[in-house]
């Protein structure tokens, strides 16, 4: 992989890990492996179970939401 791409397995892991908490690795990895229809589909799921916007990095943007919920 030449570039970090949204919607890939590793991006899913990043989003689920930072949205659900690192200690839930046992749930994060299986959820990240689900073939989500789109990133919006995945993000909707995260919003539904956490009641918050997905957290995690976005390498394409300089202002991504970090794990603590702040912006960078």
Contact 13, 32 (CB under 8 A): yes
The residue from 31, 42, 46, 56 that contacts another protein (CB under 8 A) is 56
Q: Which residues contact 14 (CB under 8 A, 6 or more apart)?
A: 56, 57
Tokens of 7: 């919607």
Give, as ranges, the residues between 11 and 50 that touch another protein (CB under 8 A). Answer: 13-14, 17-18, 22, 25-26, 29
Closer residue to another protein in complex, CB, 8/45: 8
Closer residue to another protein in complex, CB, 29/50: 29
């Amino acid at each position: 992989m030449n570039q970090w791409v949204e919607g890939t397995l590793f991006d899913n892991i990043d989003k689920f890990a930072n949205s659900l908490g690192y200690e839930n690795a046992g749930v994060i990895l299986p959820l990240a492996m689900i073939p989500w229809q789109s990133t919006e589909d995945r993000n909707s799921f995260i919003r539904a179970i956490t009641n918050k916007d997905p957290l995690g990095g976005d390498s394409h943007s300089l202002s991504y939401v970090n794990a603590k919920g702040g912006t960078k």
